[in-house]
Amino acid sequence: MLNPTLKKFSIIYVVIVIIELITAHISQLEFAHYIAKPAIVFSLIMLVANQGQHLKITHRFLLLMALGLSVTGDILLMFVPRSEWFFIFGLIAFLLGHICYLILFFRQRHKKTKPFLAIICLYLYSLLFGYVIADSLGDMLYPVILYEIVILLMASAAFLRKFAVSKLSYLLVVFGAISFLLSDSILAVNKFYMTIPLSGIWIMVSYALAQYLIVLGILNSNSVTSNN
pLDDT (tens digit per residue) in 7-33 = 999 999 999 999 999 999 888 888 999
Q: How confident is the model over 46-53, as a mean pLDDT? A: 96
- Asked whether the CA dihedral 169, 174, 177, 178 is positive or negative, the reply is negative
Predicted confidence at residue 1, as pLDDT, reads 62
- Asked whether the CA dihedral 189, 177, 107, 51 is positive or negative, the reply is positive
Q: How confident is the model at residue 228 (pLDDT cuts 50, 70, 90)?
A: very low
Predicted confidence at residue 65, as pLDDT, reads 98
Predicted confidence at residue 224, as pLDDT, reads 58
Cβ atoms of 166 and 225 within 8 Å: the answer is no
Q: Look at residues 49, 59, 61, 66 and name the one whose alpha carbon lies nearest to residue 164.
A: 59
- pTM over 0.75? The answer is yes
Predicted confidence at residue 226, as pLDDT, reads 43
pLDDT single digits (tens) 151-192: 999 999 999 999 999 999 999 999 999 999 999 999 999 999
Predicted confidence at residue 30, as pLDDT, reads 87
Q: Look at residues 74, 96, 105, 101 and name the one whose alpha carbon lies nearest to residue 187.
A: 74
List, in order, residues 6 or more apart from 77 with CB less than 8 Å away: 86, 87, 90
Share of the chain above pLDDT 90, in %: 83
d(CA 72, CA 214): 18
138 φψ region: left (φ > 0), alpha (ψ -120 to 50), beta (else): left
- Asked whether the CA dihedral 197, 200, 205, 210 is positive or negative, the reply is positive
pLDDT single digits (tens) 181-226: 999 999 999 999 999 999 999 999 999 999 999 999 999 987 554 4
Q: Look at residues 66, 135, 158 and name the one whose alpha carbon lies nearest to residue 144.
A: 135
Predicted confidence at residue 176, as pLDDT, reads 98
pLDDT at 98 > cutoff 90 = yes
